[in-house]
Amino acid sequence: MVPVTRLDHAVIAVSDWQISTDFYRNVVGAEVIDVGGDRVAFRVGPNQLSVHGPGVDLAGNVARLPVRPGNSDICFVWEGPIEEAAAHLRRHDVEVEAGPVRRFGASGTGTSVYFRDPDGSLLEFISYEASPQRASSDLGSA
Q: What percent of the chain has pLDDT over 90?
A: 73
pLDDT at 83: 96
122-127 and 108-116 beta bridge pairing: antiparallel
- Return the SS3 of 62: coil
Q: How far apart (Å, rounded) are the C-alpha atoms in residues 116 and 19?
A: 13
Task: Work out the mean pLDDT of the chain and round it to a whole number.
Answer: 89
Mean pLDDT of 98-115: 96
pTM above 0.75, yes or no: yes
Instruction: Read off the pLDDT band of 59 (50, 70, 90).
Output: confident
pLDDT at 141: 36
pLDDT at 64: 78
Mean pLDDT of 60-89: 91
Q: What percent of the chain has pLDDT over 70?
A: 91
